[in-house]
A and B are shown apart, each in its own frame.
Chain A
Amino acid sequence: MPTPVTTSLQQNIHNFNRLFADCADIKKRRMKLGRDVKTECFIAYVEVAVGNMLLENSVLGKLLNTLWEMPGEEILQYLRENAMGISDLTEYETMEEAATGMLTGDALFFVDGYDRALKIKDKGYPNMGVKETDSEKVVRGSNEGFAESVKVNTALIRKRLRTPKVKVREVFAGKRSVTNVDLVYMEDLVRPELLSAIEKRLSEFEIDMVGDSGVIEQLTEGSWFSPFPQFQTTQRPDRAAMAVAEGRIVLLTDNSPVALLLPTGYNSFIQTSDDYYMRWEIASFTRILRYIASVLAMVLPGLYLAVTNFHTQILPTDLLLSFAAARQGVPFPALVEILIMELAFELLREAGVRLPGAMSNTIGIVGGLIIGQAAVDANIVSPIVVIVVALTALCSFAIPNEEFATAFRLLKFGFIFLCAWLGFFGFLMSMLLVLIHLSHLESFGIPYLMPFVGPDLNDYQDQRDTLLRMPLGWLSRRPVYTREHARRKLRWKKEKE
């Protein structure tokens, strides 16, 4: 049963103290307002989240200063008439709602005789602010990255799409964390069924805490056992804005600099923001490289094993002899060699991620120069295996999305074992297994392999932005993610001569 905010300040303070007993970080202040200093009020806020309440440049400061200079009997009247007119101010009728409001990082204001609690916006919780992204680096384009506050992130998208058609729907997730989750979409482009689908999925679970968008991602995706992510993640506001302009939905979670984009597919993961900022020739070239990299990151070590252990006839004799010479003195079978190097590499990667910034560079040197060279010198692995593993690692780094690359990193081990066991037959089996899985996988009703499958659904227009990124002038249609009859995105004002 919710506790109502009453006209008795004493009662409200009592109820509030009951809710926030043993909360040392909640600051509470009683004051008297009005020229005659008779009207009692009560202010509560999370320490650090609210600045100096007397400062003229804060809403709270301005309000207090106004109320101090007002005759006592006019204060309630003023609040009744103007409360909703004051910017960044929210009224609550129950104590629980008011408490939740305060915990978003704002101040709570009770006045004796007034049966509402007022939430007054202040500087909010401390966060890291807008900074450059660590991942998804681009050659050309904005370097701005998402911050950790959902409101800042929403603003970063709106800054790029200044139209009232951009809508932000707010929901809360986490029974105890009460985390803001914002769904950002373009009203006239989004498929209504997509919006209902994500809202339905968000309402289907109740969890204690949502610490990051990753929690939402895992609880709302359709295929839990797939290694492939069914949400695209980004830390770049320009990428997110682009997605909104394509009719997709951006899901922002408070305290997370990682936005989720839905729906998504293989092709979306390979695209980067600067694909559209650079000339089409180089954009297409790098796009093809990334596609090849995504396949090689998964198959290369397995293929090496299949060829060297089962189908040596594929290689020219000279090359085969040089492979054999390089392996001379190595006591392990090729499978063990590959596994040693792959595991060493994964360890280096993990160590590099966990170590502080300055030290992580050292890991590169230790891994690349010392372990690699020493392993070859000690005849633990052959140089060709080092090359294969290094090339595989390069390929996995070339995949623009970390979560997507992870799927290939994991599947690589499946390929290694099947190829070591069954040679090229194992390779074909693994490829077919992955293909069967991918062909069935979908992200919010959109096949994962679109537009390589079903390109006819958008009149073959989406194929212009797949392996090749055709000249921007030809990309006049939004992708299939957009609702039908709203897919035109480029119009020439007059016919080109």
Chain B
Amino acid sequence: MFSNNQKISVRQIGRLLILDLFGVGSLLLPGMLSRVAGPDGVFCILAALGMGLVYVWVLGKVLDQMQEDYYSYMKNRIGVIGSDLLMVFYLFLFLLTASFVLYQLTGLIRAWLLPEGGYPFVSFLLVLLAAYATVRGLEGRARIYEILFWLLFGPLLVMLLLAARNTNVDYWTPVFFTEPARFFRGTLWVFAFFLPVFFVLFLKPYCAKPQKLKGCAAKAMMIAAGALAVLYLILLGNFGTKALSALKRPAITLMSMVKLPGGFFARMDAFMTAIWFFSLFALMNTGVFYAGHILKELFHEKKTHYSLLAVLAGCYMIGQWFFGYGEAVELFASFLMRIALPALVVLPLLLWLLGCIQIKREKRRTPHE
């Protein structure tokens, strides 16, 4: 009746996007931003939000032109070979994203929850969990995060309010002292963490109200950026620029410092890790889902799960590579900033422009026919 129609609501997409954008960003960005921009980091977030909204506008234009799914849209614009090549690029990107998040999630678990757990073992369990979640389909995945949203953000809000009591606002200054190049780099980093918003291009066929997808993406980005900005200010106010720069996962460190009234719990870090566990898992799962989906499309797979198996195996192996090869993360960051980011911005723009030209040509042709 309501289920198994392979459609998810705008509310579900919004919540998924917020978790995708906020999860890994809140874990890694504060330290990175503090290193390059210090107190100006919050302005980097705002500037990145501006860029992100422009990007969403471009995505919205593509969505408006899209009749079926993104793959068919690309085929109409640049032909089968071109679209297949782009799909391979997207596949690679989704796979890398999922693997990087798997690496981060495993690191998080080993650092805060299971120090004695070996990397291969923990990541294997996570891959198994991702397999189960992905096999259950898009609707199930959307429902999980619809439910979890307030269960995760409610406690986070309380903890942030409690942490805000110890904020030293002196640490928020001085502002506007960051060199433009460093400020721009910080802004680009934040923008890179907002890139998962391009998932909406693949979501159109699954959305119950596709016309609202653009607004939903913009809203999700604004909420995620707002939450990141608040978190950054609280972290900055609690640790100061130098300490914040030195911390690997400052948000969780902050959670370990917050004292709950009543004194029943001494530290909440283990409990609060759940927020990042679920939100990172959401992003990883999204990556696995779309990578599997693209592989299925490319190989015209119907009922089997071979594509998913291949993606999961790939994800696990690339995750191992991140763990074992010291420079892997830097290589990934370099790929993300130099290739993926420009490509993800330029591709939809080009496709949209091509679409506009095609539409104009067709309009010109129509009166003569």
Contact = CB atoms under 8 A, between A and B. Distances in A.
A310 B114 contact: yes
Contacts of B122: 425
Interface in B260-287: 263-271, 273-274, 277-278, 281
A281 B264 CA distance: 28
Nearest to A439: B143
Nearest to B271: A314
B147 interface: yes
Contacts of A436: 129, 132-133, 136, 140, 144
B79 to A, nearest CB: 38
Interface residues of A, number: 37
A429 B1 contact: no
Nearest to B10: A456
A435 B136 contact: no
B117 interface: yes
Nearest to A313: B267
B267 A446 contact: no
A449 B148 CA distance: 12
A422 interface: yes
A491 interface: no
B50 to A, nearest CB: 30
B11 interface: yes
Contacts of A433: 129, 132
B129 A452 contact: no
Contact residue range for chain B?
35 or more
Contacts of B133: 432, 436
Interface string A411-454: 00000000000111100110011011101101011110110111
B9 interface: yes
B284 to A, nearest CB: 12
B113 A424 contact: yes
A201 interface: no
Given A311-B270, A424-B270, A436-B136, A453 B125 contact: no
B12 interface: yes
A191 interface: yes
Interface in A94-111: none
A310 B112 CA distance: 10
B144 A435 contact: yes
Given A314-B265, A424-B270, A447-B2, A452 B136 contact: no
Interface in A382-420: none
B146 A194 contact: no
A164 B348 CA distance: 60
A480 B3 CA distance: 13
Contact of B270 (A314, A317, A319): A314
A193 interface: yes
Contacts of B1: 191, 193-194, 444-446
Nearest to A481: B1
Nearest to B108: A425
A436 B109 CA distance: 20
Contact of B146 (A311, A315, A453): A453
Given A423-B113, A425-B122, A433-B129, A445 B4 contact: yes
A401 B114 CA distance: 37
B265 A432 contact: no
B146 A452 contact: yes
Contact of A425 (B117, B140, B263): B117
Contacts of A444: 1
B3 A314 contact: no
A447 B136 CA distance: 13
A445 B270 contact: no
Contacts of A324: none
A442 B1 CA distance: 10
B155 to A, nearest CB: 14
B11 A316 contact: no
Contacts of A359: none
A490 interface: no
23 contacts: A310-B113, A311-B113, A313-B267, A316-B265, A317-B266, A422-B114, A423-B114, A428-B273, A432-B129, A432-B144, A432-B281, A433-B132, A435-B144, A436-B144, A439-B139, A445-B1, A446-B1, A450-B2, A452-B146, A453-B142, A453-B143, A453-B146, A456-B9
Given A193-B1, A316-B266, A452-B146, 14 more contacts: A311-B113, A313-B270, A424-B270, A428-B274, A432-B129, A432-B281, A435-B148, A445-B3, A446-B3, A447-B2, A449-B143, A453-B147, A454-B146, A456-B11
Top 10 closest pairs, chain A to chain B, by CB: A445-B1, A439-B143, A440-B140, A453-B143, A425-B113, A311-B270, A440-B136, A439-B140, A316-B266, A439-B144
